[in-house]
């Protein structure tokens, strides 16, 4: 028997065995047929293996089906984490927020607050774009420090606050310079003044001060030229 016939027979045998179910996957057991303990084990294993879609499905089911169980509390936080590591920051933030609302005094509340801030932090845009995510991240990190000042996450939040403030100051400077270059000196002056008043500890405030003086000079000159001559 030549090799081609052997290959054909081998493939035919595989098809027969597969049809008999020898190589077929075991039937999927519905979530409602599984115990709470096995659900949590499967959810944790899925999360560990970065199968976040499966983890989300299981933790959501546990949270909805066993809302008053201790496992539901764990599932709520792991659900948020699964969304977070999937880079679905909108749903992650909502899930962390729900955990914080339901369990404000829980030992994991500082972590949930920090992660909620990080959901916005990861969406911080370049300085030429609207800085709403930066402001939201800053708000969450400040709240964490206020409510849990001794938490280890409060120390991390301080670092993130510094970065957020630097980004907001850079945005103000960028907009101020744009106004200055386009001859809108009054608008530029207001931006530079705001930067100096709110971010005086940052090095960029010295640059803003120099531009502020230039704006004043330009406005005085403009006002002088607008005066009627006699």
- The pLDDT value recorded for residue 24 is 47
- The pLDDT value recorded for residue 10 is 53
Percent of the chain with pLDDT over 90: 80
- The pLDDT value recorded for residue 222 is 75
- The pLDDT value recorded for residue 29 is 77
pLDDT score of 186 more than 90 = yes
Q: Is 14 left (phi over 0), alpha (psi -120 to 50) or beta?
A: alpha
- The pLDDT value recorded for residue 17 is 47
Smallest CA-to-CA distance from 92 within 55, 64, 126, 66 is with: 55
Looking at residues 184-200, what average pLDDT do you find? 97
DSSP, res 183: T
pLDDT in tens, 8-56: 555 555 555 455 444 445 567 788 778 999 999 999 999 999 999 999 9
pLDDT in tens, 109-133: 999 999 999 999 999 999 999 999 9
- Give the distance from CA 39 to its chain's centroid: 27
Confidence of residue 229 (pLDDT cuts 50, 70, 90): very low
- The pLDDT value recorded for residue 28 is 75
**Helix (H/G/I), strand (E/B), else coil: 147:** helix
- The pLDDT value recorded for residue 175 is 98
Token pair, residue 65, equals 């089906």
């Amino acid at each position: 028997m030549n090799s081609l016939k052997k290959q054909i027979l081998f493939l035919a045998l595989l098809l027969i065995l597969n049809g008999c179910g020898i190589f077929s996957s075991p039937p999927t057991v519905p979530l409602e047929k599984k115990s709470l303990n096995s659900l949590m084990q499967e959810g944790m294993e899925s999360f560990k293996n970065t199968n976040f879609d499966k983890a989300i499905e299981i933790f959501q089911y546990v949270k909805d089906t066993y809302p008053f169980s201790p496992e539901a509390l764990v599932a709520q936080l792991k659900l948020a984490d699964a969304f977070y590591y999937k880079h679905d920051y909108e749903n992650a933030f909502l899930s962390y927020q729900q955990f914080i609302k339901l369990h404000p005094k829980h030992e994991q509340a500082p972590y949930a607050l920090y992660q909620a801030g990080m959901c916005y932090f990861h969406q911080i845009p370049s300085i030429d774009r609207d800085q709403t995510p930066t402001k939201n991240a800053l708000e969450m990190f400040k709240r964490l420090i206020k409510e849990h000042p001794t938490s280890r996450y409060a120390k991390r939040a301080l670092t993130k606050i510094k970065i957020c403030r630097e980004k907001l100051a850079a945005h103000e400077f960028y907009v101020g310079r744009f106004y200055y270059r386009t001859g809108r000196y009054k608008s530029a002056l207001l931006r530079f003044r705001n930067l100096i008043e709110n971010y005086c500890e940052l090095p960029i405030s010295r640059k803003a001060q120099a531009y502020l003086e230039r704006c004043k000079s330009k406005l005085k000159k403009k006002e002088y030229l607008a005066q009627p001559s006699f």
